[in-house]
Structure 1
Amino acid sequence: MTYMFGEPRFARLQFKANNQFPNYGLYYYYEGVRQPLDPNKMRMNGAPVIFVPGNAGSYKQVRSMASVALRKAREHPGLGIHLDYYTIDFDEELSALYGGYMYHQQSFLKYCIRTIASLYRHPSPIVLIGHSMGGKLAQSVLTDTDISQHINAIISISTPLDNPVLSLDAHLSQFYKETHEKLSYTRTATQPTTTTNVCQSMHQRPLSEQSMANQDLSAKLDNVLLISTGGGNRDLLVQAGLTTSQFNDLHAMTSAIPRVSLSCDHLSAVWCLQFTLVINRFLFNISQRREDGSVFFSNDKQRNMQSALMYFVKPKTRYHGSINIQTHNNWHEERHLVINKFFANGLRNDYYELIGLGRQPRYKKLAIEAVNVDNDANWLFGCESYKENATGKNYCDKATSLTHLVQRVPIVDDDLRNIAILDLHNLRQTFKQWTHLLVRLPAGSQRTGYNLDIYDPKDRFLDIRMPRWYASGRRIAINETVQGSIHYRMRIADLVEPYQGLRVHVEPLKCLKPNYRVTVRVCVPWASGFERYHTLTSPKQKPGLYVNVPTLMPRHYNTTLNPVLLDFYLDPICRYRISYEYSYADALSRIVLEFYGWLPAHFICVLLIVLRMQLDHFEEAGSLKSLRPYIGYLQYTSLYVVTGCRLFKKLIMNMKILPIPEQLDYSVNVSIIIHCTAIGLSVVTAFAFWFCLTLFGNSLQRLALRLTRLSTSGSNIMLSIMTHLPITYGILTIGVALGACSGLGLLLAFIFYFLMLSNAYKDYVEDYLWQKAANLVHKAVGIGKKSNSNKDDQSAAVANTSDQSPVSNDGDDQQKLLNPDEKQAKDELCVGLRNFSFHVTLLLMLLILLLLNVPTSLAWIRSRKHGVVLPDSSIRTTIVALSSISLLLQIRAPQKLRGNLILSILLYACAGISLLYCQMAIYRLNFIIAGAFAVIAMHQALQKLYERLFPSAK
């Protein structure tokens, strides 16, 4: 947690745009000064930084980064460098849910950039730091060439850059599309190729100086440095794969950033002390001071990129070249393959250890680890040794530094770990004069030492394949590691999709101490910047770690040649057993986090198939079958639509006639799991609706009376009007949608529809119970009459036995005569409002339509306070849906009519379109639902009209 070093204070800047954006504001951050400051009247001479908050973000979130910057400037006054932090107040708007905010906020951000640029005497480039949707907003202003000239760098924190988390709004989708199209002309996009393997390089490579020089930077925006960061597995709001962009220069996850090495959740990224320190160190490093004392950010992108690599990817280790060694004391030489040497109380003098390079040819790899050696210390060298005549020991007069090949491992128990993995074969071929590697441990009182492991890669590199989802049980990768070994590598093929979960177990065996430290580095070859570390320190911890990839493997990528890599940096005090298994828990959790946005499209697909089945199947009135809540819902037909859409998608891609479907090249297993979940959810919600109709219909009606303040007689009149003239219901709700917003009209329509259905259900149940009671009475009366008639027949038979005329048993006829209503009820079908299963399905679809418009409704409610007019992208679909529902109720739909085949085909088509085009673009479901309502209404109305005009066609 970052604590403020003084009382946080915010000074508001006044400029012309304040009248145009009454609910927005621009503030300057300062601390400790009790007197209010006016930035408009001050001489600003620091390097300007603007913090852009995200979805529901506050302008006060800047205080952690700004306070650290103020503290750093005070602690190092000799540098003369300080930063001016500004922050923007967007009134905590929900910009991730409603895209109409983005254009409004973008205009205000441009005004802020111009205003801040005008406060400085000299042209001063600005750094933008955007959190969440604020990062996308900062990226979008690059599309304006007048604004981009004022921008030096953009740092996005946990931002969905190329695709939104949920595309609930057409305006949000359009905003992303426009930004992508414009940036594609002004930025150089980077795409992974079939041979890309970021695990083979030590770090991400910036644009070369030659390519930068060949570009026309006045037309291109590659001179603006774009850095993106992600929180990792703890960020449950923005998935790791969404935080990178093809237009970025550098990407890093907080779990792999040096001196951070922690996964951050979505909000803690703005106040995590380790992370804010890294950001400010980078900003101070790229800052320069003019002669008049003003500070500005350097425009040299190559220099800035090197600084970014040093702070966000890999600390820069000074390359000292060749050095001369004066002393020949305290020299030692080791010839073993495995060495573990430590000094518990430190060293009084520098310690020198020679490690011979003359090994057997099969020993091609060398792993060496220095513990508690300062990161900037020069401790690993290559040299040509000489033998001292007096003692016969080998020593080196001159050595070449190899510390630049060392990588830092996250700190565990305050122990610094620096590890280098060297290729001995290449060293021997490149530096033929070298005979030894030199390890120099500096003097100090702290425990220090080093571990050495020379090995044959065939014995340490483990090649495995990702187990299939149906595979069960644990598989052994290596039964027991070599004592004293410090490095193993596991190469995993077929781990290509984000939902796949692999659990790797590292179990300690025969440990010399109770606690140990094992660090595992995970690297995905096609995903730059997603390297992460996982550390195990005790057997009390779960000995396993979860491995998954952040993004889908690119097409035509070969994971056999470029597999996912796991580097195990082991503690030599133990031996270990390494095993792995398919993790169902991790796979299901990844499916929930990565693909929960697909559920609405699959849910609508299920409802459309259920609706088609209900229109084909009409139950008889007056029977218990008509009251079943699960009619049509216990089905698996919709699963055929899933597989059929995957085949049809390939056909569309090849023919190129229809619009291109969403490019979702995931396994069919994901779609089936999501679809089965949608089927289960449809059954649960249908039962929930029936439960509400049965028990809470009257309660909800009384609640509606209180909210509308209608009397009981007034509500009865209103319900009577809606029941007998539903067209008034449609006119009223459409008027509300046009006058206010679509969400409010849909909410009113949902309440009216539910009350009408509840009232009809109550009347139906009462009629059903009265009918059953009447039937029982008729049966009781019929049995009594039948017994009396039997006695009369017997006495008549005794009196006249010679009568041979047949005796007719007219008990059934009497039953039929006594129960004409029951016979007529059995001949009738549950049509109109009495077809409850049909209307429950329509009500569910109306509920989904209402939920899809909740963000727009919230935006409309908030905008009413400030008089801002925001666009309503779903008003047309809302009008179509409400008109169709009122028409269906007016003509007493559904009716048993002809033409169901055409209707079934159209409903199947709507179900397929929802899976092909609406899984990511959720807002398109508005059109699917409205289209389904319109198709059903037209079918019922036209068929009824046709049968009236041509009665013989019935």
Structure 2
Amino acid sequence: MAAPIPLSVSVVLVSIIGAGIYDVLTNFEQNGCEMTYMYEYPEYQEIALGKLRKEYPTYRLFIYGEGQYARQLRNLKLDGIPVLFIPGNAGSYKQVRSLGSVSLRMSEHPQVRAHFNYFVVDFNEELSALYGGVLDKQTEFVHHCLKKILSFYSGAKSPPSSVVLVGHSMGGIIARALFTLPDFDSSMVNTIITQATPHQRPVAPVDIHLEKFYSKVNQYWRDNSLSSVRHVTIVSTGGGYRDIQVRYGLSALDGIVALDRAVSASTMAIPKAWVSTDHLCAVWCRQMVLLTKRALFDIVDEKTLQVSEDTEVRMKAFQHHFLNNNGLPDYQSYNENKTITLDSKIQWTYRDEKTWKFSVAKTTAPQYFSIPLVVEERSDSIIIQTNLTNPEWICYCDFPEGEQKCSTCTSLSSRSRFLPPLYSNTRYLRIAFKDIELTPRSHIVIIVPSGQRKVDIVSDRYNSDERHLVFQMPNIYDTIISYPVSATDGAAMLKISNGSAFYSLHLAGLSLPTNTYRALVMPMGCRRHNAEGFEGSILRLNIPWSKEESYVFSGYGKELSIPVKLQSGRPADYDWQLDASEPHLEMFLHPYCHYKLKLIVATQDTLGQAVRFYGVLLPGYLVAVLCLLLRGVVVAHGKGQVVSTREQSPADSLMEHAKPYYIMPTILVLNFLIRFGPVAKLLTKFGVPEDDAASLAAQSIWFKMLPLLMYLCCWMTSYMQAFVVFHTMSVVSFLGRLFAWLPDGLVRLISSGQLVLSVLAISSCLVCGSLGSFLVSSLLIFKVLRLMYIVSRQQDSKDTHRKLSLYFPIMLMVNLQALLSMGPFIIWAKNVAMTRAWFQPLESDPSRYPSLAVTVGVVLLLYAENATVSRSQSAVIGWVLYAMTAITLLYAMESLYRLPAYISICVLAVSLPYAASFLMQKLNGERRKNE
């Protein structure tokens, strides 16, 4: 009988987790990506690989073309810039279409001399994110393809010496892995662009080969940042909230690639994109495709019509397009102190108001607006927002004594930045007076050309002490105490009066991803105004330690709402005491309105962030809870304590044997010891890896209460799991009464299937370990169902309940191991579907040995089902299981690839003593029989 309180708590907790999963899957903006269109039929021409076809029978290489261009490619005599697209996990070679098609259209422009040839590899849609055994093979194949591609340009006027690599998802890791090959010529690649690639670590590290591959690649790039990869420039874009597979923090290149050779940005923050892309959308989103192609065309050397060998040229182009586009066409050679000559015949308009707005349907004549920078009125900053399209649109100068104009000025256009929405051409300049050479006669000059339609200018001169505000974000304790008021009425409130075009709110203390809020900016009153479509207000959440800004635009007089949550934690070594280091909520407002800002706690966003960042820890904690349950059952059996499952279900046993205070104090002490200087050095000397807490701390998402919270969460989740599984199987076993009429001989024949299934499970492990796990899991399920059927027929005994209480937690653990090994099983199944080779062993199978150990252990336990263990034996088993629980919580929280091995050790730790006891009982029985 289930206890009502634990059941109620577990239902609530599982519902909360479900709400978090729902938030991850649904709580993001609508897809703002535009489609890329085709004007001609796409063609993927396969390239003959000769002997490589035998070595890589399932891999292929294509070149992309359309219409007449595709027909020109058939002889493979090429004269362009080679680009190789590398698809990722389960990716199709047809994903190259968007980049290839847009590039072809852009090269048809009469002023464009260069053109790109797009190649793409086909990996047969392998699951490289779940099975690392294919990564080395994919890397070697791409290496061969690069050599093949460069051979097509031998007759070109200016043959390329390198190939541009574009990688989606795991394809980006393959691109960087090329440099680790011993025979790879690093000069073959100098430019890499990756889309939604998890560079930092695997999304779900369920495979030891995947983990080793990542470790090898990232360590190589760290060690050779000043040597063999110094000439390589690399761009990494992450999709933001919509990408529920790869969060932005994993796609950043921080700590892997040298800062002056890498650009990392969220698509939500990239100028003239401002969209969140899901994992697949990253390859076809028109805004991102156009940005990528503009950047690629800008790194072409005009003399050679190949990618420039100058790394500084490439970095300037990538930083301009992906980080800080200021609208200047000559950004490569631009002088920030450029002097602009002003036309003395053009009309000057003097505007000395602190805040003013200018709007006209069309400019018929050029004019200059001059704005005095008056220090005496306590103004120290100015923001100017406009939709002017001329590159040089703003500058500053000193008016000569007694005059109201100047003949030359110093440009400020390079400091301007664009704002959404996409086609508004809205840009702004925000500058502090201290950043320029200020005198009493200094003026800002806005240059308005003639013939431009619908010109809007907003200027606001202000005191930063009044507009740059600091709000101390409430901590967890304050949030809980003030809940639900903080989630309804708001945790902060700010009233903004008319005439203010800009406010900045510094969110002090916002450091963990689970600190989530929602900012609401509500217009409280707006002047009657005939607003245009792009006229309104903009919110910008700026995270200074990463390029993960997010923007929200709303029309004139409408409410704005933006989620205040992080996509990566604040680095531990970040100087958070400086105002500039805190996250900023920047508000670009309409001066004809006054507003009210409300900052409310976003409960559902918090749950979603918890699932997004910490969901990967659940399997490890679930195994730890089940391990403690198994320990409690075995120790109780050694003492002769067997409780009827009618009186105490496995769920109730879990509540009794897996209490948090049985293990968490030990974990706390061990966490301290392994970081203690001498102990840490000793562990390193013996090759003991860092615990997973160190990895989480490196990601800036670790906090002291995390282990306890995760354990409590998984303890109650395991209770619900055990409750549901046990009662579901009880119903299924009860239906077995329908077959009660079967003859005993037939029942014995069916029961003998255990032997067949056992042999099949053990032998299957040699072909694919995951297959063996599924078979032995099925064997355990049938055994538990059989025992529950006996209980339902009231033919049970104390021995029946002993077996059932022992097999049930082992069944749950083996089922979890089978789920963690799904990757190799899918790869094996795909190989069988293609080759029909049922008995061909899977290469580099990480699940083989753990599955074999578990299978042998379960089979031994099932055949020794009548054996019992002594009190001393059960005590030893209990201590082994306790130690494995601690090791799991230290070294398999995040490193899921270790869990199958730990589960196999737990199963063997139980089964071997039972098997030994069974053998001794058999030998003693034979001895007594002979006597």
TM-score by length of 2: 0.84
Distance 1:583 1:78, change over 3 A: closer
For residue 450 of structure 2, what is the aligned residue in structure 1?
443
Letter in 2 for 1:105: Q
Q: How far apart are 1:492 and its partner, in Å? A: 1.7
User: Is 1:720 the equivalent of 2:757?
Assistant: no
Distance 1:383 1:149 in 2: 48
- Do 2:557 and 2:593's aligned partners in 1 also have CA atoms closer than 8 Å? no
Partner SS, residue 508 of structure 1: strand
User: Is 1:302 the equivalent of 2:312?
Assistant: yes
Partner SS, residue 633 of structure 1: helix
Give per-residue Cα distances to partners, 1:528-556, cap 9 Å, x unaligned. Answer: x3233232336765x43212222222224
Give per-residue Cα distances to partners, 1:307-332, cap 9 Å, x unaligned. Answer: 11121112253557222223345322
> Which of residues 89, 103, 108 is equivalent to 2:136?
103
Distance 1:385 1:701 in 2: 100
Distance 2:41 2:738 in 1: 52
Letter in 1 for 2:752: I
Q: How far apart are 1:834 and its partner, in Å? A: 4.8
Distance 2:647 2:636 in 1: 11
> Which of residues 577, 584, 588 is equivalent to 1:565?
584
Aligned length: 834
> Which of residues 695, 718, 736 is equivalent to 2:764?
736
Q: Which stretch of structure 1 is more off in the superposition, 686-695 or 107-116?
A: 686-695
Higher RCO, 1 vs 2 (CA within 8 Å, ≥6 residues apart): 2
- Do 2:516 and 2:602's aligned partners in 1 also have CA atoms closer than 8 Å? yes
- Do 2:237 and 2:267's aligned partners in 1 also have CA atoms closer than 8 Å? yes
For residue 395 of structure 2, what is the aligned residue in structure 1?
381
Give matches, 1:424-823, under 5 Å: 424-427=433-436, 430-432=437-439, 434-444=441-451, 446-470=453-477, 471=479, 472=483, 473=486, 474-475=489-490, 477=492, 479-513=494-528, 517-527=536-546, 529-537=547-555, 543-561=560-578, 562-617=581-636, 625-626=646-647, 628-635=649-656, 637-638=659-660, 641-642=663-664, 644-654=666-676, 655-656=679-680, 657-658=682-683, 659=688, 660-662=690-692, 663=694, 664-665=696-697, 666-697=702-733, 716-721=747-752, 730-738=758-766, 740-768=767-795
Distance 2:492 2:603 in 1: 19
Q: How far apart are 1:94 and its partner, in Å? A: 0.7
Measured on the aligned residues, the alpha-carbon RMSD in Å equals: 2.9
Distance 1:644 1:444, change over 3 A: farther
Give per-residue Cα distances to partners, 1:884-919, cap 9 Å, x unaligned. Answer: 222222222673630233333222221121121112
- Do 2:869 and 2:913's aligned partners in 1 also have CA atoms closer than 8 Å? no
Structure number, greater radius of gyration: 1
> Which of residues 415, 419, 423 is equivalent to 2:428?
419
- Do 2:87 and 2:95's aligned partners in 1 also have CA atoms closer than 8 Å? yes
Q: How far apart are 1:734 and its partner, in Å? A: 1.0
Distance 2:627 2:866 in 1: 17
Letter in 2 for 1:913: I
For residue 22 of structure 2, what is the aligned residue in structure 1?
none
- Do 2:421 and 2:553's aligned partners in 1 also have CA atoms closer than 8 Å? no
For residue 149 of structure 1, what is the aligned residue in structure 2?
187
> Which of residues 69, 76, 81 is equivalent to 2:114?
81
Give matches, 1:4-43, under 5 Å: 4-15=38-49, 16-33=51-68, 39=74, 41-43=75-77
- Do 1:127 and 1:153's aligned partners in 2 also have CA atoms closer than 8 Å? yes
- Do 1:441 and 1:449's aligned partners in 2 also have CA atoms closer than 8 Å? no
Distance 1:609 1:648, change over 3 A: same
Letter in 1 for 2:827: A
Q: Which stretch of structure 1 is more off in the superposition, 580-589 or 132-141?
A: 580-589
Distance 1:341 1:258, change over 3 A: same
Q: How far apart are 1:595 and its partner, in Å? A: 1.7
Give per-residue Cα distances to partners, 1:163-218, cap 9 Å, x unaligned. Answer: 01011111101111111222222225xxxxxxxxxxxxxxxxxxxxxxxxxxxxxx
- Do 2:200 and 2:252's aligned partners in 1 also have CA atoms closer than 8 Å? yes
Q: Which stretch of structure 1 is more off in the superposition, 84-93 or 871-880?
A: 871-880
> Which of residues 899, 905, 912 is equivalent to 1:938?
912
For residue 231 of structure 1, what is the aligned residue in structure 2?
239
For residue 773 of structure 1, what is the aligned residue in structure 2?
none
- Do 1:486 and 1:572's aligned partners in 2 also have CA atoms closer than 8 Å? yes
Give per-residue Cα distances to partners, 1:701-740, cap 9 Å, x unaligned. Answer: 999xxxxxxx9989634543367xx6x76444212212x2
User: Is 1:50 the equivalent of 2:108?
Assistant: no
Partner SS, residue 11 of structure 1: strand
Distance 1:221 1:479, change over 3 A: closer
For residue 861 of structure 1, what is the aligned residue in structure 2?
829
Q: How far apart are 1:276 and its partner, in Å? A: 0.6
Distance 1:26 1:337 in 2: 63
- Do 1:764 and 1:834's aligned partners in 2 also have CA atoms closer than 8 Å? no
Partner SS, residue 594 of structure 1: helix
User: Is 1:901 the equivalent of 2:875?
Assistant: yes
For residue 811 of structure 2, what is the aligned residue in structure 1?
843
Distance 1:161 1:669 in 2: 28
- Do 1:609 and 1:638's aligned partners in 2 also have CA atoms closer than 8 Å? no
Q: Which stretch of structure 1 is more off in the superposition, 640-649 or 654-663?
A: 640-649
Q: How far apart are 1:353 and its partner, in Å? A: 1.7
Give per-residue Cα distances to partners, 1:566-605, cap 9 Å, x unaligned. Answer: 2221121211122323322111101111221111001101
Q: How far apart are 1:446 and its partner, in Å? A: 1.9
For residue 780 of structure 1, what is the aligned residue in structure 2?
none
Distance 1:476 1:942 in 2: 63
> Which of residues 336, 356, 361 is equivalent to 2:353?
336
Distance 1:238 1:699, change over 3 A: farther
Distance 1:526 1:712 in 2: 73
For residue 295 of structure 2, what is the aligned residue in structure 1?
282
Alignment gaps of 5+ in structure 1: 189-218, 704-710, 770-824
Letter in 2 for 1:463: V
Distance 2:237 2:643 in 1: 64
Distance 1:886 1:501, change over 3 A: same
> Which of residues 177, 182, 185 is equivalent to 1:140?
177
For residue 381 of structure 2, what is the aligned residue in structure 1?
365
User: Is 1:177 the equivalent of 2:186?
Assistant: no
Q: How far apart are 1:673 and its partner, in Å? A: 4.4
Alignment gaps of 5+ in structure 2: 1-34, 926-931
Distance 2:56 2:641 in 1: 61
- Do 1:24 and 1:91's aligned partners in 2 also have CA atoms closer than 8 Å? yes
Distance 1:281 1:946, change over 3 A: same
For residue 242 of structure 1, what is the aligned residue in structure 2?
250
> Which of residues 322, 341, 345 is equivalent to 2:339?
322
Identity of aligned residues (%): 26
For residue 16 of structure 2, what is the aligned residue in structure 1?
none
Distance 1:622 1:160 in 2: 49
Q: How far apart are 1:386 and its partner, in Å? A: 4.0
Distance 2:864 2:826 in 1: 34
- Do 2:781 and 2:811's aligned partners in 1 also have CA atoms closer than 8 Å? yes
Distance 1:2 1:563 in 2: 38
Q: How far apart are 1:9 and its partner, in Å? A: 0.3
Q: Which stretch of structure 1 is more off in the superposition, 57-66 or 115-124?
A: 115-124
Distance 2:769 2:40 in 1: 47
Q: How far apart are 1:445 and its partner, in Å? A: 5.0
Letter in 1 for 2:768: C
Distance 1:461 1:641, change over 3 A: farther
Partner SS, residue 674 of structure 2: helix
Distance 1:69 1:242, change over 3 A: same
User: Is 1:882 the equivalent of 2:855?
Assistant: yes
Letter in 2 for 1:367: I
- Do 2:867 and 2:921's aligned partners in 1 also have CA atoms closer than 8 Å? no
